[in-house]
Amino acid sequence: MTLNKGYYFIKVDGTKRVAVSKELFTSRSSFSNMFIISMSLEVVSPLHIGTGEASKIIDNMPLFLQTRDTTGHPIIPGASMKGAVSTFFLALTGSIEATSELFGTSSRSYGNKYGPLISKIFFDNFKIFGDYRVVNKPLPALWRPRYRPGYYAVKLYSDVNYSEPKNKSQLVECIDTGAKFKGDVVGYALKPWEVGGLLMSFGINVESEKIITKQIKMGYAKPYGLGKLKVIGEDIFVKVCEVNKNDLKLSTHVTHPSPYINEFTKKYPIAKERYNEVFK
């Protein structure tokens, strides 16, 4: 791990998605080994996942808007969630090939390898529920980190608390602390360890059969303490799906996360070592 102001790097074996080897590849030709992972997340620090649009000028600063659905309520887009979770998965495993197999790759086939591959998992837009508050938070001008390590690495963000900056140049519309979102992740052709890796990439772990969760970071201005979320432990449901071949009706039953996470850490022991490092 390499530290720098506001962020740090974890070494991996590649950052650009690759074609997948025969040993790791799973056919996408049939819907088997299907799972639905349902969960709720709580906002730990103000969250901004923006549209890229500014609506007005307040105190000589543009106000950048939070993404919302057609009803006007804030959402976490599935694409944003998938991007964050795939980064955590790569950081935990250190393997770009395993990440490509699960999250998809556009790489071409070569030798005994396969590609391009559609993702095996699909993320809903996570929808807000219950009471929530929208607040505007001032920020300074943000710049890309100047430091780059001399090896393939994932960039993660240190755990800092938001404080109002002296030099303000922009306002961002945020979902305030305490708001809750819920959504599903649907996967097929999944190996048990991939289910465990997906769970762990949401900051979920198991100790003595007890579910524990750590905060994840996503969205804008993470170096300034925005964008912390935490899965609500009692709201995690791992559903094994079976499709009736006669009428295509779907039936599900809920299983505990423990055996899947155990399979994942058995496959990638480094994930157990990196868990506390990735989810600070």
Q: Does position 212 have pLDDT exceeding 70, yes or no?
A: yes
If we measure between CA atoms, which residue out of 220, 202, 215, 206 comes closest to residue 92?
202
User: Is 197 within 8 Å of 264 (Cβ atoms)?
Assistant: yes
Specify the pLDDT at position 1: 44
Q: How many percent of the chain have pLDDT more than 70?
A: 96
Q: Does position 215 have pLDDT exceeding 50, yes or no?
A: yes
Residues 250 and 200: their CA atoms lie apart, in Å, by 26
The pLDDT tens digits of the residues spanning 167-184 come to 999 999 999 999 999 999
Specify the pLDDT at position 2: 43
pTM here? Answer: 0.94
Residues 55 and 61: their CA atoms lie apart, in Å, by 11
Question: DSSP letters along 172-227, please?
Answer: EEEEPTT-EEEEEEEE-S--HHHHHHHHHTTTEEEETTEEEE--EE-SS-GGGT--
Q: Does position 81 have pLDDT exceeding 50, yes or no?
A: yes
User: Is 237 within 8 Å of 37 (Cβ atoms)?
Assistant: yes
Specify the pLDDT at position 145: 67
Q: How high does pLDDT run on average in the chain?
A: 92
Indicate the helix (H) or strand (E) that contains 65.
strand 61-66
More confident residue, 113 or 126: 126
The pLDDT tens digits of the residues spanning 43-68 come to 999 999 998 888 888 888 889 999 99
Q: Which amino acid belongs to residue 143?
A: W
- Distance from CA of residue 16 to its chain's centroid? 17
Angle between helices 269-278 and 78-93 (to 10 degrees): 120
